[in-house]
Amino acid sequence: MKKSKKNIGLLIIFILIIGAILSSCSSGTKDESAIHSPYVGQEVRGIKALSQDDIEGLLTGAGTPFGGMAKPAELNGYPGPRHVLDAVEAAEFDVSDEQKEKIEVLYEEMRAEAIALGEQIIELEVAIDGAFSEASITEELLEEKVTESARLYGQLRIVHLKYHLSMVDILTVEQVAQYNELRGYTSDDPCNNIPDGHDAELWRQHNNCE
């Protein structure tokens, strides 16, 4: 019996060794190039520089394109109008009728401005992508289109950020604190963790600190 168990143990070890060797050989034949691109698959996009999520966000006025248009505001205690309205609709957040009306106006203004800019950005990216794919690109055209695209991108960021900024004039300090909690930004106590560069008094006020 002991001999049988010993043989089984040796067999398992042998199988593991063979498996490791085969795995090593297999991985050796599938090693990627030192310059293997992280963009693999993106070459089939309609607009190479934009993901489908980017395009949808630009066309709907959402703050999602390019990794998040309003992160400096959103992650520093300035609520987004769309998120507040979604929370109200889900019965997770209470606002007065007057507050809701103001937030809805803000959101519609933001959305209209963002969509107009987003459509222009997409149009420029289509032109840039097309010029490269058709080999008709020139340095002058490149500078013109990219400079304009960058300008519009900056304007789009301002649109999203300024409406987050306006929200703190509509919501109370308590509501801002509740918003941050609903969004999951209170894993650490903000009252004891004031980010570098922030005015301590304003930060405490926005986060309902005593």
pLDDT tens-digit profile of 8-45? Answer: 555 455 544 555 555 555 444 467 899 898 889 888 88
Any domain includes 14:
no
Any domain includes 126:
yes
pTM: 0.72
Distance of CA 192 to the CA centre of its chain: 27
Tell me, what's the pLDDT at 29? 46
Query: How many residues make up the chain in this entry?
Result: 210
Any domain includes 164:
yes
Low-confidence ranges of the chain (pLDDT < 70): 1-30, 187-197, 207-208, 210
State the total domains in the chain.
1
Tell me, what's the pLDDT at 18? 56
Any domain includes 70:
yes
CA distances to 93, 116, 123, 129 from 45, rounded to whole Å, are 39, 23, 15, 10
Any domain includes 23:
no
Range of the domain at 59: 48-187+196-206
Any domain includes 52:
yes
Q: Judge contact between 54 and 139, C-beta under 8 A.
A: no
Tell me, what's the pLDDT at 32? 82
Angle, nearest 10°, between helix axes 81-89 and 173-182? 80
Any domain includes 154:
yes
In angstroms, the CA 89 to CA 75 distance is: 22
Any domain includes 30:
no
Tell me, what's the pLDDT at 51? 92
Tell me, what's the pLDDT at 196? 65
In angstroms, the CA 150 to CA 154 distance is: 6
